[in-house]
Amino acid sequence: MRQVVSDALGDFSAIYDEDVEVVCVTRPQTSTCKTFADQLISARQVPQLRWMQAANDPDAPSKVLPDHINAEVLAVLSNEIAEACELLGVLMDCEQIGVRLETLNAPMCPRFHVDFVHCRMLITLSGVGTDWIPNPNVDWDIFADLDTTAPPTRVDTEIQQLSTGNWSLLKGGKWSDHFDGVVHRSPHTSSERLLLTLDPIM
């Protein structure tokens, strides 16, 4: 299994390759989004928000996000969410996207695990990105041992980290019968991060 890193949205189609588990795409507006995300965190303006929206509805995020957010920040954040939803809808041939936006100051999922979903897009808008382990590097005996907190990595392998600002698409446990899903966890940090999670509703 391998990771695809690109700067072209069209390369998300590589997720359908059997030997690909993660596709990460660098976005040109990353620095702008991070600046605005930092502002949201500093102003304590983003609580935990969850909603479902049509994949092709560009106005949906602005209807859900708090209206007291600075108009410029709101526009950038809404566009980021709407564009990602539209891409997922086309890529996964689905009409609905589950969206979660939350400010975190502690690990939401501190233990390495697999999400039992078809796939999931993670976008760390600000702060440290999600930890993950390439499938060939997972020690599945350690992973299955619920009594240990040791990272389930094979000898001489390292934990990887998704880059802040990238759109990262991870295969989940429901992707196929031949792949167990990407093993990942929240980073072990007390610093605040703004995380956007998108789930195609299949």
pLDDT 10s digits, 61-120: 999 988 788 888 888 899 999 999 999 999 999 999 999 998 887 656 678 999 999 999
Ordered by start, the domain boundaries in the chain are: 2-201
pLDDT band of 47, cuts 50, 70, 90: low
Write the CB contacts of 15 (distance below 8 Å, at least 6 apart in sequence): 4, 23, 91, 119, 169, 171
Full-model pTM: 0.93
Write down the CATH number for the domain with range 2-201: 2.60.120
